[in-house]
Structure 1
Amino acid sequence: MKTLGLIGGMSWESTALYYSGLNRGVSARLGGLHSAKMVLANVDFQEIVEFQQSGHWDEAGIFLADIATKLVAAGAEGIALAVNTMHKVAPAVAAAVKVPFLDIRDAIAKDLRSKNIVVSGLLGTGYVMQEDFYRSHLEDAAGGGVLVPEKQVAADLNQIIYDELSKGVVNDKARSRVLDMIGDLHRQGAGAVILGCTELPMLALDSSSPIPLLDSTALHIEMCLNFMLGDDAKSSDRTYY
């Protein structure tokens, strides 16, 4: 088993899903008392949010790249960012290390291709939905179109993510609002909706969604498991957390 270097804390609520999912996934595949080999760096999310809000993305990239190099020095054989938004600085992090960088966007693109989804909807933070680093990567890698909500709806979702889910607050009002967003994207022609925020699975949306949901957290965990165990043959749609 390879050792994964995981950069988490953005937020710690979703990092807990990664920790549980990786360990449960290794246990399910290997049996016995096996658990995931990983080196985890849990950052202070407030510091990351301040980088975002001030527009200091280059500094954020340097900050996370430095953490990645320390994880490699501690034995990590691959690096993963347990967050969607900070993949805006993925090039800086990937360039700082000589081990594979496991990009969450590639995990999603692979799933889009395997399911022949031509047009998808995308939900996430405002940065993910409104900036090119995420949508363009998916469109280039998967060869399809990506729809996003209008600006006011995107702002509402951004508020739910930062002010509620990232603080562990889960309620029916937020769940209903996000389901409405999914329905809107469906009516616009989306064949599936990407949950492009690692906290969105906390809302347990699958059973009520009118169309398939692509859970970026689960897909990224699956990608990491395949890297760690070298076992693509056992990859599946199973969610381990």
Structure 2
Amino acid sequence: MNTIFTDASFQNMINVANRYGISANAVTDLTQGLMRSGGTMAQFNISELGGGGQWMLGGMTMVGDMFNNGLKATVDNLCMELSNLINQGGIQYKPLPKVQNQNGFMSGNAGNWWGDLGFPNSTGSQNNTSYAIFSNIHRLAIQENGKVTIFDTLDHQIGGTGQQQSGTYSVSFTSQYGNVDLNQLPIISGGNNKQNPVNNTKIQSVLQNQPEQIIQAPIPVATNNTSAFEEDIFTKIEKIAGLKDKGILTEQEFENKKADLLSRL
């Protein structure tokens, strides 16, 4: 697919290139790789950056000249800055142009099955299921058996896909929090208009002008794995604290997620 950055995005990339003393083409190629993962990782082969290499958010930085620590630091800082720009909306693709098809409907192009969401950061298909990830607007589109469902991905930064072993869809997704449970994501459109059961209860209560029922979560039963579960919660809190320190999460987003994790103890 032809991917064209907005003018403002290209100017931001030129500014980054000038600060690091590398070409705009090198920064553009690196950004293309980052955009495919929503800014979480990139594989590249850029001569100005030591040839082949790989970068992962919060993980290892690998460059062709493996003992060149200065180059590693440059690549790490460069990728981190571009990743932040992507997640803050400072780097975006231009929306696909509107064209009229033979039925008179307007769409981006004949293959734009996800509608008017713009240009995705990543697309793919597995087991007759197609997906498109829109990191900048926090949307995930899935097409299965001709039906399209649009999810709000909330604060998930989806950066990986895999084959789903069970569940509604045949493809699974991962983010900075681990596996993404699609049943927990709000549905924006499609999906046979299914909504979270709690949301349905709220809507029905308002329509019927009746007090909303309080749905209580089952009280967790203590098991031998309790300590391991608690340790996992605190590990996740440390991870999102690192994301906050790097500017990927705001203070409010960090506090909300921490409160949600602590409420599971």
TM superposition score normalised by structure 2: 0.26
Relative to its length, the structure with more helix (as a share) is: 1
Q: Higher relative CO (CA 8 A, sep ≥ 6), structure 1 or 2?
A: 1
Greater Cα radius of gyration, structure 1 or 2 = 2
Q: What TM-score results when the alignment is normalised by the length of structure 1?
A: 0.28
